[in-house]
Every structure is written in structure tokens, then in C-alpha cells.
Structure 1
Amino acid sequence: MYPDRVVANIRAFERIFTSAGVTGAIFYGKKANKAACVVRACAEAGCGVDVSSADELKAAKAGGIRGRDLMVTGPAKSDVLLQMATRDDALIAVDDLDELARSSTIGGPSRVLLRVLPPRSNSRFGMTEDELDLALRLTDTDSIRLHGFSFHLAGYEANPRADLALSLIERCHEGRRLGHPMTTISIGGGFGVDYVPSRAWETFLRGVNPRWFHGDRAPHPESYYPYHCPIPGPAMLAAILERSNLADRLRRSGIKLAIEPGRALLDQAGSSVFGIQGIKTRLAHGLPYHILTVNGTSLSLSEQWFDSEYLPDPVLWPQRPGNTTPTCVGGSSCLEDDMLSWRRIPLPRSATTEDLLIYPNTAGYQMDSNESSFHGLPLPPKVVLRSSPDGRQFDWNLDTDGFPI
């Protein structure tokens, strides 16, 4: 993990808000990576954190995040979580009317955003138009302070986010007429990361076929993350603010735009390193290829959770000359489906058990979302790197159980 990169990514989003003249609030989506060093980087940068459980909230505060810099999301929150959030003056994204009613009995006042069900969406999250009307009209302003609205959209498109934010500005004015503060619209996350150049991605999509994969098991094309993103991260925020003069509308209405990026704040902030425990040779369609067994499992490279594949090629270290060797990568469990890479990756040479296999740019959702001590295997430790003051080398420590040692 390289938390200095997290700070740099936060600053890049902040520059977009500043150049657009918009008051912004950034909340790191903590579920994207559990490392405590990321939360401390957010505290160092003055960035908030988005949490969805009592333990995440406690971990964020232990890392230096103030209560007012917390966004509490997730469906059907427990009374304990609502109490903790209210006590800490966190911003609570309320998912339904029942949760709103329970929040009003916590002993607030609670700072609340109403989560909106996007138009034409079949999501299980958020409130319908009628439910929003009821929430605005019936909420007791003494126990609940409605600060605005939040939403989350699938996909990585700028325009739908801008359009829904625009439609909620009038909703904020309506809430103000009813006595609510209405200061904020949160557009959630979904800020893409550009993992590979456009030519590499287009070439892959044109040529991909099951014969490239162990057991001819290719993921469905629609299940791949879009590994080339033409307007990633901060550039996507700029596009959102430019759409239909959204930035101007927000300024004139005195409304803050909140975002909840996870993956985008972790771009280039970490890699996953595996030792190689075993190597075997197999034939597919008359051609040989290798299957590596590494000292980890597919739970430590989480794209398999989505019945997909992490596509950026791993690096075989150390670099030495050799012949290109098609190679799949299996985990160390006894499960047939425990494959980190079903695809036969063209490694530049044959691997040995003395080598390391390094998957790049895995800090965002890949390296620890599904980690498990299955088989009693230890969870992978996280090594935290920081540049030395002269910039010529790295200092390091271990991020263990959420705290460095």
C-alpha cells in the first residue's frame, strides 16, 4: 500500500471542485479497502469517510476522522449504528421511511440525507418519489435535520449522475420551504479508473474467446469491469459539473456536492504480491501452458466474486530473459474454482518457485474485499510504503489488524 498516492488522488478531485467554483465534500468509500493507512491518509488530507457498519465507523474514528466528516450509508441500519452516527454528528444517508422514523427516536437531532431511488431503476435501495414527498412533509425538524439527498448509480457514466443531481436541486428548494436545511446532494461513487490504454482494451475485446482461458471458461463479456475508462476519476467529476451548467446551478443554490469515491481514490495506491508454490504443465487445444499455484486464494483478488476476471497482466519478478509462456494462476485451496487468473496470461518466461507474481493496481476493491482465512490460511499482511524525505527510497511498516507495527 502506498498512502501518499491516496492523498494525491484526493487533491486531484479537490482541484476540480476549486476550478469549478463548487463547494465539494469527498467521502472515501471505506469498503473499497480495509487498510488503516488509507483512513489515516484521508484524515491527513482532510477527506471524509463513508462507512456502513459500527465497526467501520469505529475504525474511521480510530484513524483520525472526525464525526462530522463521516457519511453513514447502507440499508436498514441498526439502532446502534444510528445512535453512534447521531452522537458523532455524522451525516446519515437514510434508505427508507422506517429507518427515518427510527432515526427520529434516537435523541438527535440527526443530520440526514434521503437516499433516492433513481428513475427507471430496479435497485433495492432508495426511496420512491411518493416516499420522498412523505419524508419531506412529515419529518419533525426538531429531531431530524434533512440536509439533502443522496443516490448511487450503476455504471460509470457522467451524464446520468449530472442529470439526477440537477433534478434534486429543486427538491432541495422544496425542502427549504418546509424548514429543512437542505445543504447537500451526494452523487455517490462510480468514478472510473483507467487501468489499461484504449488500444489494449479494444484489442482484447475484439479477440477474446474461451480458448484463452483454462477449461475454456471465459467470463461473460458484460461482466468485465471497463478496464479502459476514457474520462476517469477527477475528469469524470469535471464532466459531471459541466453538464447542463450543474456547477452554476449548485453555486446559485448554495448547495454542496458530495462524492463517495472508493476505487478512484485508490488508483495506483497498492499491488498484490504472491509467492509461487507450485507449477504444472497442461495441454489445451494441443498447446502446452502452465498452471501456477500461489500462496494465496482468489478471495485475495476479488473480481472472481463478480464471475469475472482481473485483466491487467501480473508482473513476474525478477525480470529475466526467456520465452513467452501462457500461464494460468490458481490459489492454494482445495477448490476447483479457486483461480486467480483463468486466462492464460503470456508471461515473458517460465515461472519458478523462487519468483514473485505481482498484480498491479489492486488496492481498489481487489485485494481485500473478500479475504477469508479459509483452510486456516493467514490473511495477507499489508506493507505500507512511504517515500523518504529525500525521495530516493521507501520507508515501510506493516499495517496489522488496522494499526501499523
Structure 2
Amino acid sequence: MNEPPLALPALRNPAVSALLDNDPALLESLVDGLGSPLHVVLPEVFEDNVTALREAFTRSGAVVDILFAKKANKADAYVRAAARLGIGVDVASTPELIGSLAGGVPGQRIGVSGPEKDDTLHALAVHHGCLVAVDSLDEARRLAATARRAGTTVRVLLRARARSQPRSRFGMAAEELRAAVGLCGELAGDITLRGFSFHLSGYSAAERAAAADEMIDHCVHARRCGSPSAEIVDIGGGLPVRYVEPSRWDEFLQRNEPGRYHANKEIKDFYPYGGQPAVEAARDIMAYPVNDRESLARRAARDGIRFIVEPGRALLDQAGFTLFRVQQVDDRSDTDGYAIVTVAGSSFSLSEQWFGSEYLPDPELLTARPAGAEVFPACVAGSTCLESDMLTWRKIAFPRPVRRGDHLVYLNTAGYQMDSNESPFHDIPLPRKVVLRTSGDGRSPSWRLDGL
């Protein structure tokens, strides 16, 4: 049995609404001129998110340095915005580090993470004075040797395995961590232990606060063992984004079933699209009681600890969207009760990093709904030869019949959905990114290609 479409409209930032409502002709001309799909990048919204998160941490009483997790989006515009605002960048590869430096972020504000980094990344990080998260004893020795050859000292964090996730593939277990602290003392001329980091999956504020509390314990112990500069706890990312209204999300979870998808596809696990906003999560982490007397923020202040946080998705909330031109409409209303809309592009350019799932918020038509129009149920497919190339398996209730030449917009795609899984399949070039900035005086937004 085919279930009727269930609406899951995406939340809209006012700046995004203004663009879609006031400048649809500009957006359509950009897609038609530069190609479909087209990713629209909004650095002003990114900057607003940084400001809001900074204020939340300041009000909590904690000292927190923000590093933008570059892996969440490849656009140069966001790195340049980070440089303008004086925040750092978290990188995990040589190209990401080079791109961050080229975007104006000094090495001292760049954190280098990732397991067992190669010698090229080590050398570049040492040369530019980056803060390097070390994942093993062997990596600590290799990094120290690199710094020794360069005639300098490198700042490091030791990545510990949190007690709540003992089987994680990241970080050092207790015995190895104790040995690493001792090794940092032995190699003090080459490496300076600045603190500890950890990796967590999921969005539990309680679990992240508890892991941060463990890292403070490690800092206190490291100071006693001769590393007086151990004062940093890197809590990673793990700040959620709210894409849809919570009530809509709850209804979707209750009514979700295969009949709502093309070919009765069964998807059971999704990103928590109706979850907590990042600012609230940040406050909850810092306010979480880690002992009988005080919050995490108070405990950190008492022990002289400063935090690093590495949001990616959270800083990109509403800071971009993706446009597709409709290439074909296969109306199967008489047989299946819905249509298949094929766009110029593929699901490689619009995908959720929550593996085995799809990006759920409803795509929208750029043009307004005509009065009295009937709902047009359809799913959205890519234009490759793969049966599985579906941008949206779920049936969407479009407000009017979709036609060839129409333009679809997927909102709030900057955080991983745009480019984390992109591929030049069929030898088709990767989509372009356009940076839009509003003038503030009622004129049309200015635009440029990202990277120029």
C-alpha cells in the first residue's frame, strides 16, 4: 500500500527566506548559467552562527576556543570567514591544512586531528606551529623526530579513549596514555604537552561533559608528572543542528514506513533532524554537573582549563543550500500514485553523512504555488544510470505539478550534505559553489564563484 506524502518542511533562516522569496530569478539564472546542481554558500550566516556560539560559551563562564571542522564543507568562503572572525580551523589532511593557511588562518589557530597522520602533514604542521592531536605512542615519537629535525618544538594534545566508548578505534587506552604522558616529559625539548582530546559518536551532552571531565583529570595528572602546560581539553564537535520543527519530526518518526518511499525502500535510521539547536547543546554541556558541587565550566575554571570545540555542521547551520534543475518528470500517478522527478545531477552531490540514510527535509520548488493547485506527489532521482541514484526516496507533496526546467532547492545543505560524498561520476565535473552576500540596502545580492 502506498502511503500519502508526509510533509517535513525545512526550517528557514530569515536571510535564506529573503533570497528565495525576493530573488528567485537570480538563483534560477545562476543555475542555468553555471550548471546544475549549484551549491549556494552564505558566509554571513556562518558568521552569525560563530557569534551566537561564542556568546553561549561566554555566558557559561567557560573559556572556549572555536575551531571550524573543515571536513564539513570544502568551500574556501567558510575558511575565509573563520579568518576574519579570528577563530581557528580543525583539519585532518595536508590539503585541508594548506587550504586553511591560504584562507588566512594562521598556523597557531589550526588544530590537526585524525589518526596516525602521515609525515607530510606532520612536517607542515610543525613548520606552521599548529596544535597536533596525537593518537598513539608511535605517532608521538614520529612527530617529536620531525620537530627535532626542524629545530623547533611542536604543541600536542594526547587523544584519550573515553571510558564511555572503550571500543572506539580512536585514541589511547589508559595504560598507553600514561606512557604517552611520560614520553612527553622525556621529549620535552621536541614536544610540549598542552592537553587532551577525545572522540565521541552521537550528541549526548551528558556523555560529552563526562568525557571532558575525564580529560581535566588527565591534565591535572600530567601537571604533576612534569607537564605544566597541560591546560587544554578538546571536546571535539558533537553540537547538533535542528533542521525541522520537533513536532514534525516526532510525527514523521511515528508514521515512517516503507510505503512512503519509492519502491517501498526501508530506511530506519536518520540524523535527528528535529533535535536540539547547537547553542542549547553548548550551554547544556558546560552546565552539566560533573560532581556533587559544580558544573563542567566551574570545574574547568577552578583547575585552570580552557576548552577547544570543533563544530562543523553547527557552524554551517542554514549557511548554504543546493539548487537542481529538473531534467525529466515521469508521472506514474495512474499506476503508482506518484511521479519520479529526475534532476540534472546526482545524489553524490546531495547526501547525508548519516550512512545508510538520506537527507530528509523536503525539497522545494522555487516558484510559488498557483491558487487552487493540487498536491503533486513525487520522489527525486539523479540523472545517472544507477538504480540507487535517488536524492529523495521519500515521496514529497509538491504544491503543483513539477515540470522540466523547474528548479528545486534543498535547504540547509552546507553541513556535510553538499560535498562530503561528491564524485565526478560519468566524468561530469563537480558542482560549482557560488558565494552570495546581501547588500543590506534592498539591492540584489552580489555573487562570486567560491575560491576567487
Question: TM over 0.5: same fold?
Answer: yes
Deviation at 1:208, TM superposition (A): 0.7
Deviation at 1:218, TM superposition (A): 2.2
Give the one of 176, 201, 208 matched to 2:249. Answer: 201
SS in 1 for 2:380: strand
Partner residue in 2 for 1:76: 116
Q: How many residues align?
A: 397
Give the one of 411, 416, 421 matched to 1:365. Answer: 416
Deviation at 1:354, TM superposition (A): 2.1
Output the CA distance in 2 between the equivalents of 1:153 and 1:241: 16
> Which residue identity does 1:218 align to in structure 2?
E
Give the one of 219, 222, 237 matched to 1:175. Answer: 222
CA contact (8 A) 1:313 1:345 kept: yes
Output the CA distance in 2 between the equivalents of 1:147 and 1:248: 20
CA contact (8 A) 1:274 1:296 kept: yes
Partner residue in 1 for 2:171: 126
Give the one of 58, 63, 85 matched to 1:18. Answer: 58
Partner residue in 1 for 2:361: 312
SS in 2 for 1:234: helix
> Which residue identity does 1:117 align to in structure 2?
R
Partner residue in 2 for 1:91: 131
- Could you report, residue by residue, the CA deviation over 1:309-348 in whole angstroms, capped at 9, with x for unpaired residues? 1111011121132211111111111111011001111111
Output the CA distance in 1 between the equivalents of 2:383 and 2:91: 32
Output the CA distance in 2 between the equivalents of 1:234 and 1:207: 29
Structure 2 unaligned regions, length at least 5: 1-40, 290-294
Distance 1:96 1:391, change over 3 A: farther
Output the CA distance in 1 between the equivalents of 2:353 and 2:194: 38
Deviation at 1:391, TM superposition (A): 5.6
Give the one of 197, 212, 219 matched to 2:267. Answer: 219
CA contact (8 A) 1:298 1:304 kept: no
Partner residue in 2 for 1:326: 377
Deviation at 1:287, TM superposition (A): 4.1
Q: Does residue 80 of structure 2 align to residue 40 of structure 1?
A: yes
Structure 1 unaligned regions, length at least 5: none
CA contact (8 A) 2:241 2:278 kept: yes
Partner residue in 2 for 1:241: 286
Distance 1:157 1:318, change over 3 A: same
Give the one of 93, 96, 116 matched to 1:56. Answer: 96
Q: Does residue 178 of structure 2 align to residue 155 of structure 1?
A: no
Q: Does residue 321 of structure 2 align to residue 274 of structure 1?
A: no
Output the CA distance in 2 between the equivalents of 1:14 and 1:43: 15
Partner residue in 2 for 1:377: 428
> Which residue identity does 1:186 align to in structure 2?
D
CA contact (8 A) 1:83 1:106 kept: yes
Deviation at 1:393, TM superposition (A): 3.5
Deviation at 1:235, TM superposition (A): 1.3
CA contact (8 A) 2:353 2:416 kept: no
SS in 2 for 1:334: coil
Output the CA distance in 2 between the equivalents of 1:90 and 1:304: 28
Deviation at 1:120, TM superposition (A): 4.2
Distance 1:148 1:391, change over 3 A: farther
Larger relative contact order (Cα-Cα within 8 Å, sequence gap ≥ 6): 2
Output the CA distance in 2 between the equivalents of 1:235 and 1:373: 38
Partner residue in 2 for 1:338: 389
